[in-house]
Amino acid sequence: MLTKGNVSIGLATRFGPDWSGIRCGARTKAGSPCERPAVKKTGRCTRHGGKSTGPRTREGLEAIAKRHTKHGRYCKENRLAARNRAQAARKLNGELKEIETELIRLGFLDRKWSTFWA
């Protein structure tokens, strides 16, 4: 009678050394070749990457990307928004620098005006 603890019945005859089927081509941690049966498409067993080939459709790829996103800080839209903000800040700083140099040239500001408050 088969019981839950008696699962080794038939393993030797199914996938033993004399089994004629295609074996997994991977190596085990011990360095010996894996003796598990291979999946047809990949030539590897389910433990060595033979079962799933990953998503193929756009919806599947987007679902995987959504699951792997921890936060949106580095997503494409946020990087573009940060780049635009930085560009606007550089432009604003340049305009302020031009105003400052013009006010210094006209004599309204001292050259060392920014160290006055420090």
pTM equals: 0.41
Q: How many residues does the chain have?
A: 118
Q: Summarize pLDDT for 16-45 with one digit per residue, the tens.
A: 677 788 888 888 888 888 888 888 777 888
At 70-111, the pLDDT tens digits run: 887 888 899 999 999 999 999 999 999 999 999 999 999 888
**Residue in 45, 30, 36, 1 with CA at minimum distance from that of residue 15:** 36
